Amino acid sequence: MAGPSEKQEEYAAEKGVELVYTPIGREAFVFFVHPENPIESLSIQEIRSIYAGETTSWDQLGVKGLGNILAFQRDEGSGSQTALKRFVMRDTPLMEPGKETIIDGMGGMVEKVSAYRNHKNAIGYSFRFYCTALMKNFDVKLLAVEGVTPTVENIENETYPLASCFYAVTRSDANENTHQLLNWICGPQGQALVEKCGYTPISATE
């Protein structure tokens, strides 16, 4: 997973469970629009302003004819919603979403943004792998952030600003079999599999 929400961490603590996060790869948190939206790149501050409810029109970003920005959000506690708060919003309050802009699943967000007839003015977010590998039937355009596109190369060289580790999450009292599995995931075979699946490995796979 990309990382737990605060509520999930609190729940574990309430149950007396200490969670251990082992990095197993790197992934990009991405923002996307419909391919016919001419915008190519946004800064982190522009994205933050959109999701704070301060920038409300595409005209404010130099895009004419699309009207108000329809900024979709995920449900609270989802990995991508946690990533939005952690990587982009930080200490900036997130605007309260309307019922029509809350999407239950990542697939639903990609599908909505790709539907130009109804949501040509939309913007959404997810993780790169999900958009490029798991939702191939829906066409969206991944935006560059700070002028850097979310390619595998830019994730590897750490120039894309919204890339981070994803983790295998285990209990601190996990048994030896679990530790053996973690060692395998972090070893050459496991990392080769991470790379084959379309993610960026955390260590060299030669």
CATH of the domain at 75: 3.40.190.10
Assigned domain for 33 exists: yes
Residues 122 and 197 in one domain: no
Number of domains comprising the chain: 2
Residue 135: per-residue pLDDT: 61
Indicate the residue type of 186: C
The b/e string for 141-158 (b: 16+ C-beta within 10 A; e otherwise) is bbbbbeebbbebebbeee
Residues 85 and 11 in one domain: no
Residues 121 and 185 in one domain: no
Residues 30 and 128 in one domain: yes
**Cβ contact 168:180 at 8 Å:** no
Residue 206: per-residue pLDDT: 45
Assigned domain for 206 exists: no
Residues 45 and 138 in one domain: yes
The residue range of the domain holding 184 is: 6-24+166-201
- DSSP code, position 196: H
Residues 138 and 185 in one domain: no
Assigned domain for 161 exists: no
**Cβ contact 146:161 at 8 Å:** yes
Residues 43 and 107 in one domain: yes
* Residues 170-199: tens digit of each pLDDT: 999 999 999 999 999 999 999 999 988 878
Q: What is the pTM of this model?
A: 0.80
Residue 178: per-residue pLDDT: 96
CA distance 122 to 124: 7
Residues 175 and 145 in one domain: no
Assigned domain for 1 exists: no
Residue ranges for the chain with pLDDT beneath 50: 205-206
Residues 30 and 84 in one domain: yes
Alpha-helical (H) ranges within 77-171 are 79-83, 106-114, 116-119, 128-129, 152-156
Residue 129: per-residue pLDDT: 82
Residues 126 and 191 in one domain: no
